[in-house]
Amino acid sequence: MEKRDELYRGKAKTVYLTDAEDKLILHFRNDTSAFDGQKIEQLERKGEVNNKFNHFIMSKLEQAGIKTQVEALLSDTDSLVKKLNMIPVECVVRNVAAGSLVRRLGVEEGKELDPPVFEFFLKDDALHDPMVNDFHILSFGWATEQQIAKMKELTFKVNAVLKPLFADAGMVLVDYKLEFGTDSEGNIVLGDEFTPDGCRLWDAETKNKMDKDRFRQGLGSVVETYIEVANRLGVEL
C-alpha cells in the first residue's frame, strides 16, 4: 500500500491518502496535547504504543461484531484504515464520575454511575468541544435519527466488551470517547482510535491514573504507564 499526500493533520495523528481510493493510512505521532492544544510535548515511543494499542482494542471489538475502521498494522506507527465520512460528534460513556462531569455537576470524583452516563459532544476545538444533544445533531444535520440510535447502541456495546476486559487486567474503565463515520454503503463504523489518550483508566486497587490525565495533571511517566496498561492487556509492543 503506497502512502501518498497528507489528507489531515490532527493533534496526535496524521491521515494520509493511499493508492486505493477507499483506504487511508493513519500515522500515530509522538505528539501529546491537552487543553485544546495549549499544552503540547513530544513523548518518545508514544506513537508506537498508541498505534499497537489501538489495533489490539479494535481487533477485540471486531471479534465482538462491532465494525471498525482499522484493517491492518503496517508498521510501528502506521495502520491501514477504511476511508469514512466522519460524523462530527463524540460519543462519551461515563462509568465513574471524573473530569468535566465532576466540574459541571459538582459530584464527587470516583462515584460509580449506574446506569452509565451517555453524552454527545461536538468535535470542535475552537469551541472547546461543547456538549450537545440529539436535537442539535438532527437540527444541524450532523447525523440522522437512525444514525444517532446506532451510535448509542454501538457505544454501549463497546462498553460491554471493554469494561470487563480492563477489569480482568486490574483496571477500571472510567470513561471514554468514540467517533463514528459512514462507509461507502452508509453503514455506521467505529473510527478514529481507542487509546489511553481518549479514555480514563484507573488501577483497580490504588486508583492511580493510567491515562492522559497523567499528562494533563503533570503526574509524569505517561508513556511508561501506557506501556504498563498495554502489557496488562497482552498487547505486543
Other beta carbons less than 10 A from residue 43's beta carbon: 17
Q: Return the sign of the alpha-carbon dihedral for residues 50, 52, 55, 56.
A: negative
Q: Where are the alpha helices (DSSP H) in 64-121?
A: 100-105
Given this model, what pLDDT does residue 40 score?
86
Lowest mean pLDDT among 36-40, 157-161, 199-203: 36-40
Give the pLDDT band of residue 194 (cuts 50, 70, 90). Answer: very high
Query: Which residues, in sequence order, are CB contacts of 24 under 8 Å at separation 6+?
Result: 7, 15, 16, 17, 18, 80, 81, 82, 83
pLDDT at 37 over 80: no
Report the distance separating Cα 151 and Cα 180, nearest Å.
7
106-141: pLDDT as tens digits? 999 999 999 999 999 999 989 999 999 999 999 999
Which domains are seen in the chain, by residue range?
3-82 (3.30.200.20), 87-221 (3.30.470.20)
In this prediction, residue 1 has a pLDDT band, given cuts at 50, 70 and 90, of confident
Looking at residue 16, the DSSP 8-state letter turns out to be: E
State residue 106's pLDDT score. 96
What average pLDDT score do residues 176-204 get?
A: 97
